[in-house]
Amino acid sequence: MTTLIESDEHKALRAAVSAFAKSRPHDVDHRALWQEAAKLGYIGVNLPEAYGGGGGGITELSLICEELGAAGNPLLMMIVSPAICGTVIARFGTDAQKQEWLPAMADGSRLMAFGITEPDAGSNSHRITTTARRDGASGDWLLTGRKVFVSGVDIADATLIVSRTEDARTGRLKPCLFIVPRDAPGFTRRAIDMELHSVERQFELVLDDVRLPAEALVGGGEDAGLLQLFAGLNPERVMTAAFAIGMGRHALGRAVEYARERTVWKTPIGAHQAIAHPLAQAHIELELARLMTQKAARLYDAGDDVGAGEAANMAKYAAGEACVKAVDQAVHTLGGNGLTREFGLARLITASRVARIAPVSREMILNYVSHQTLGLPKSY
């Protein structure tokens, strides 16, 4: 049984991260903010102490991610580099891979992106067509394929690519993960023209017979790819939920502040129930989503991958919905001011929708819950 009441240590961590993030301007250079956060131990808090990390878990990392967002200084790559890639390497990487990557991730000097989505695969990871094949006696791997909507490739030192290799026993393709350096020949990127305003850009990747040494295969073996993949996807969902909750809290905070100060007919608009009640509802829904996020993180840290899978999907769903509602109500509370650059809420209208569709859509989460939790038959 997991307790959902935060410890004094976690409360102190929240307060420290919040104070740090609020002391930085909202237009601060994100790379500098990343490095400052890393020096304080925030970026690598979930990585093993033996490799320079904090020895914590996704519980602590998601807490930090949420507080950064709530203060208006979110770091999207926290979801990707330490949570997905760092977790996969820490759990399944070879000793050499751990030595090379984990200390550098923890101290903020290196970043890793994550490539799984493909133009024709979408949410169906079984349809991934990026393939890896052995190159004769050299032992090298050759990767060929395409990826889309890969965050931060331009600032990452490498990308963890989800590929598939042929099982010599069955002839079927099975997932494998490879660490692809950003300057590998045949590895090219193209920025996707997004209307979403974000510091971290989205990219399409092309892998044209990218040659990799044998040691680029995570873990060095070909039989743990599926376990590696799901080891990274559950933290991704938890962290996305935390990111969304932070965004929603930030928007709600701006709206509450405005509703207290904005006066019409000698009365603060926050005194009117038409303003107050929707804000109260948004707060309740964010708090409920936070509880499920905490549950998911603690189940994952306790090693309950099955329980964490269910809770992480529910947390991501709840947080995405709560975030969108909070942002929407915040904008309505400010009226025309909610669309001005001064208050910084208009950009969140688009950004908040990301939590509904990435890394997995709310409809696919409903499929998961209906099939896995409720035992209902599949429609596909």
pLDDT per residue over 151-160, tens digit each? 999 999 999 9
Same domain? For 171 and 297 the reply is no
Q: Flag whether 61 is in a domain.
A: yes
Same domain? For 210 and 240 the reply is no
Q: Flag whether 2 is in a domain.
A: no
For 90-110, letters b (16+ CB in 10 Å) and e give bbbbeeebbebbbbbbbbbeb
3-state DSSP call for residue 347? helix
Same domain? For 238 and 312 the reply is yes
Same domain? For 250 and 176 the reply is no
Q: Flag whether 299 is in a domain.
A: yes
Q: Flag whether 3 is in a domain.
A: no
Same domain? For 99 and 29 the reply is yes
Q: Describe the crossing of helices 58-70 and 8-22 by its angle, rounded to 10 degrees.
A: 40
Same domain? For 211 and 301 the reply is no
Same domain? For 313 and 235 the reply is yes
- Which residue, of 89, 111, 133, is where some domain finishes? 111
Q: Flag whether 284 is in a domain.
A: yes
- Reported as a single tens digit per residue, the pLDDT across 160-214 is 999 998 765 555 678 899 999 999 999 999 999 998 878 889 999 999 999 999 9
Q: Flag whether 379 is in a domain.
A: no
Enter the tokens of residue 362: 């709310």
User: Around Cβ 121, how many Cβ atoms within 10 Å?
Assistant: 19
pLDDT value of residue 85: 97
pLDDT value of residue 1: 42
- Which residue, of 221, 244, 265, is where some domain finishes? 221
8 Å CB contact between 41 and 47? no
- Which residue, of 111, 131, 166, is where some domain finishes? 111
**How many CA within 13 A on the CB side of residue 49?**
3
Q: What is the pLDDT along the chain (380 residues), one digit of tens a residue?
A: 455 678 999 999 999 999 999 999 887 888 999 999 999 999 999 999 999 999 999 999 999 999 999 999 999 999 999 999 999 999 999 999 999 999 999 999 999 999 999 988 766 666 788 999 998 878 899 999 999 999 999 999 999 999 998 765 555 678 899 999 999 999 999 999 998 878 889 999 999 999 999 999 999 776 677 788 888 899 999 999 999 999 999 999 999 999 999 999 899 999 999 999 999 999 999 999 999 999 999 999 999 999 999 999 999 999 999 999 999 999 999 999 999 999 999 999 999 999 999 999 999 999 999 999 999 999 87
Burial bucket for residue 364 (CB in 10 Å: 0-12, 13-18, 19+) = middle
Identify the CATH number of the domain in which residue 342 sits: 1.20.140.10
Same domain? For 202 and 265 the reply is no
Question: Which H or E run contains 189?
Answer: strand 187-191
Same domain? For 255 and 334 the reply is yes
Paired with 47 in beta bridges are: none
Same domain? For 63 and 147 the reply is no
Closest by CA to 93, choosing from 233, 300, 232, 236, is 232
Identify the CATH number of the domain in which residue 79 sits: 1.10.540.10
Q: Count up the domains in the chain and report the number.
A: 3
Strand pairing report for 112-115 and 158-166: parallel
Q: What is the rounded CA–CA span in Å between residue 56 and residue 13?
A: 12
Same domain? For 245 and 274 the reply is yes
Q: Cα 334 to chain center, whole Å? A: 29
Enter the tokens of residue 33: 């903010």
pLDDT value of residue 226: 78
In sequence order, the 6+-apart residues with CB closer than 8 A to the CB of 273 are none
Same domain? For 92 and 128 the reply is no
Q: What is the rounded CA–CA span in Å between residue 45 and residue 62?
A: 10
Q: Flag whether 256 is in a domain.
A: yes
Task: Give one word for 302, left, alpha or beta, with left for phi > 0 and alpha for psi -120 to 50.
Answer: alpha
Query: What is the extent of the structural domain holding 238?
Result: 226-373
Closest by CA to 306, choosing from 316, 321, 296, is 296
8 Å CB contact between 253 and 70? yes
Q: Flag whether 183 is in a domain.
A: yes
Cis peptide before 103 (omega within 30 of 0): no
Alpha helices in the chain (DSSP H): 8-22, 30-39, 58-70, 77-78, 87-92, 95-106, 225-261, 273-301, 305-334, 346-357, 362-368
